[in-house]
Structure 1
Amino acid sequence: MPTYLVGSRASALARTQVRDFLAPLRGRFPEIAFTQRVILEGGDRDRTSLLANVSAVSGGSAFSTEQEAALLRGDVDVVVHSLKDLPTANPEGLMLLPPPGREDVRDALCGSTLAGLPHGARVGTGAARRIAQLLAVRPDIVPVPIRGNVPTRLEKLRSMRLDAVVLAVAGLNRLGRQDAIGEPLPLDLFPPSPGQGALGIQVRVDDRAVRDVLSTVGDRAVDREVRAERSLLAQLHGGCSVPVGACATTRPDGTLHLFAQVTSLDGRRQVTGSVTGPASEPERLGADLAGELVDRGARAILDGIRPAVPA
C-alpha cells in the first residue's frame, strides 16, 4: 500500500484542515495510506517576538519555511497550509494545487459587535490589515497586539480584559467555535487577506503521481479566485503583514469579480477598487486592479508603512 506523508503545522486548526482535506481522498483512494506529519515553524516556536524577527531568523516565512524545506527534502509528499499565510512566490521546485473548496472568507469580531464596542475599546489583533481596517471605521479603537492560535487568542479576551478580538470566520468554523462569533465583519469594509478561507496544497513539481491524486479534489473556481487575489498582492509587492485586503468571487455569468482595498496603518487613508473580467485570466485581473490601486495612491501608502511593518 503506498503511503503519502502529509505535512502541516502543529495547531488544532492545522490538524483539522488536514483531516478535512484528507476525508474525501481516503474515500476515493482506499489503497493509499495518508499519514500526517507535524512540522514546527519559527512562528510556532516563538510566539512573543515580532514576526519580522522570526522571519529573519528562519530566512523566510515565519509560518511556511520549515514545511517547504521538508517538502523539498522529500520528508513529506504534500504540505497543507492556510493559504493566506503563504508568500505569493513558490520556492523553485514547488507548486500549489487547486484548493478543495473554500470556507467563509470573512473576519469576525469575537466578544462584541462593531456597534457594541464602547468608545476606546481595546481590540486584540496582531494583523496590520485588521488594525488599519478597524481604525478606518472606528478611529477611537485601541488595537492590542496579540499572537497565538485560535483558542489562545479567544482566551486573551478574558486574560487581557479585551473588549473583542478579530479572527477569521474560517478558522472558527473549522474548529466548531461559531459560538465565539459576535459579528462577521462586512466584506465591503473589511476585505480579507488574499487567500483567506482556502487551503494551500503545496507539492513538488516533479511528483506527478501525488499531483494527480490530490488534484481530484481541487475546486477550479476557487483556484481562479485565489489566484486573482494573490496576483494582486504580488503586484503590490505585499505580504501577509501589509494592510491589503482582497476578495474575488465568481459571478453567475461565469466572470470573475475582484474587490481590493489598501489602508494606511492609522486608518486615515484608504484606496479601494474593483475589476470584473474573464475567469480564465485571474492573474491578469489581479495585476490590472493592482495597477489601478497604485494609480490611486496605494503605492504611497504601502511604501510609507513598509519599514514599520513586520515582513
Structure 2
Amino acid sequence: MGDVVRIGSRASKLARCQVTEWLTPIAEQFPGVTFKRQIILEGGDQDRVTPTLAEVAKSAGGSAFSSNQEAALVTGRVDVIVHSLKDLPTSLHQGTLLLTTPGPREDVRDVLCGSTLAGLPEGARVGTGAPRRVAQLLALRPDLKVEPIRGNVPGRLARTKGALDAVVLAAAGLNRLGLTPEVREVLDPALFPPSPGQGALGIQVRVDSPAAKLLAQAGAPHIDACVRAERALLAELHGGCSVPVGAWGRVGADGLLHLSAAVTSLNGAEQVSAAGEGPVDDPEKLGACVASDLLAQGAAGILSSIRTP
C-alpha cells in the first residue's frame, strides 16, 4: 500500500457523501497519506427491476449492495470500503474485518416524506423497498397500500409528487444529502426501531493489511458498541439486511448500553419486542440476550414464515 490508501464505495451521491464524511477527519489525522477513491458498481445499483417485498425478504443473508465491494477488497483492488452499515451482512467475507465504527453516528430514525402518518387517508399508497419498514407501517396502519420502490433517494422522493402519497426513508441519508426539508414526520424509534447499523458507517478492511494497522485507532468506541449490539442481535436471529428486524442501541445517562428490538411479520399482524441493558464493553452479550428474548416470544416463527415460499 505504501503511502496510498485506495477507498472503494458505491457510485451514488449518498455513497460519495459518506466517503467524504469519513475521509475528512481521517485525512487530517494522516497528512502524509494519499487517499484515492474508486467507484464499485453493485448488483443493486445496476438492477432496475424492483422485486416484490417477499422476494427481497427471502433473499436475506447476502447483499446486493456489498458483495462486489467485498470482492474488490479481498482481491486487493482497494484497501478500504466505506459502507452504509445497515447494508452490510453480519457475516463478513473471510479475511476482512470492520474497524471501530466512526462517529458521530447520523440520525438512526426513519422518516416519512410526502405526508405525516396521521395525515395519510385510508388506503393511501406508501413506497418503501424495505420489508422491515413495510411490516412496521402495517402494524400501525393495516389499511395502507405499501408499494416496493428502488433507486436513489432523489428518485424515491420524486414518487411523492404524484404516484405515491408518501415514502419512508432514512433520516441519515436525507441529512447527508441536504434534503431534510423534505421530511414531513420523524418516526419514533420506540415504535419504528431502525435497521441494525442505520445511520452508521461501516469501514471494512483486510485483516492484517497496512490500512488496517494504520487506521486501527480511528473510530468512536461508544458508537461502535451500539452497532455491535445491534448486529449481534441480528446475527443471533440468523437475519440479513432484508428481514423485518429493527434494533436500536444507545448509551444512556446511566453509562449502560441499552438495546431495544422488534421482529414484525410482513403483514404487520404479528410483532414481538424486547429490550435490555448491559455494560458498554460487552455489546455482543447484550445483543444475544435481547435476541434470546425475541426468540422465546416466537421471533423464529415469524422469520421462517417470511423465508418459506
TM class, shorter-length? over 0.9
**Residues 1-311 of structure 1: pairs in structure 2 closer than 5 A:** 2-50=3-51, 60-101=62-103, 102-159=105-162, 161-207=163-209, 209-307=210-308
Q: Is the CA contact (8 Å cut-off) linking 1:8 and 1:15 kept in structure 2? A: yes
Structure 1 residues not aligned, in runs of 5+: none
1:95 Cα offset (Å): 0.1
1:226 Cα offset (Å): 0.4
TM-score normalised by structure 2 residue count: 0.94
**What fraction of aligned residue pairs are identical, expressed as a percent?**
59
1:195 Cα offset (Å): 0.3
Q: Is the CA contact (8 Å cut-off) linking 1:42 and 1:55 kept in structure 2? A: no
Q: Is the CA contact (8 Å cut-off) linking 2:86 and 2:197 kept in structure 1? A: yes
1:216 Cα offset (Å): 3.8
State the Cα deviation string for residues 191-234 of structure 1 (Å, max 9, x = none): 00000000010000021x31233344301001110000000000
Q: Distance in 1 between matches of 2:167 and 2:308?
A: 26
CA distance 1:261–1:281, shift in 2 (3 Å): same
1:55 Cα offset (Å): 11
Q: Distance in 2 between matches of 1:117 and 1:53?
A: 27
1:251 Cα offset (Å): 1.3
Q: Is the CA contact (8 Å cut-off) linking 2:142 and 2:268 kept in structure 1? A: yes
Q: Is the CA contact (8 Å cut-off) linking 1:3 and 1:32 kept in structure 2? A: yes
1:8 Cα offset (Å): 0.1
State the Cα deviation string for residues 79-104 of structure 1 (Å, max 9, x = none): 00000000001111000011211100
Q: Distance in 2 between matches of 1:91 and 1:56?
A: 21
1:37 Cα offset (Å): 0.2
Give the secondary structure class of the aligned counterpart of 1:103.
coil
Amino acid in structure 1 at the alignment position of 2:227: V
Q: Distance in 2 between matches of 1:212 and 1:197?
A: 25
1:49 Cα offset (Å): 4.5
State the Cα deviation string for residues 10-63 of structure 1 (Å, max 9, x = none): 000000000111001111211111111000001111121438989999x94211
Q: Is the CA contact (8 Å cut-off) linking 1:54 and 1:62 kept in structure 2? A: no
Q: Is the CA contact (8 Å cut-off) linking 2:50 and 2:148 kept in structure 1? A: no
Q: Is the CA contact (8 Å cut-off) linking 1:157 and 1:163 kept in structure 2? A: yes
Structure 2 residues not aligned, in runs of 5+: none
Give the secondary structure class of the aligned counterpart of 2:308.
helix
Q: Is the CA contact (8 Å cut-off) linking 1:88 and 1:230 kept in structure 2? A: yes
Q: Distance in 2 between matches of 1:245 and 1:263?
A: 9
Q: Is the CA contact (8 Å cut-off) linking 1:55 and 1:62 kept in structure 2? A: no
1:119 Cα offset (Å): 1.0
Q: Is the CA contact (8 Å cut-off) linking 2:58 and 2:308 kept in structure 1? A: no
TM-score normalised by structure 1 residue count: 0.94
Q: Is the CA contact (8 Å cut-off) linking 1:109 and 1:166 kept in structure 2? A: yes
State the Cα deviation string for residues 90-144 of structure 1 (Å, max 9, x = none): 1110000112111000000001111111111100001100000000011111101
Aligned CA-pair RMSD? 1.9
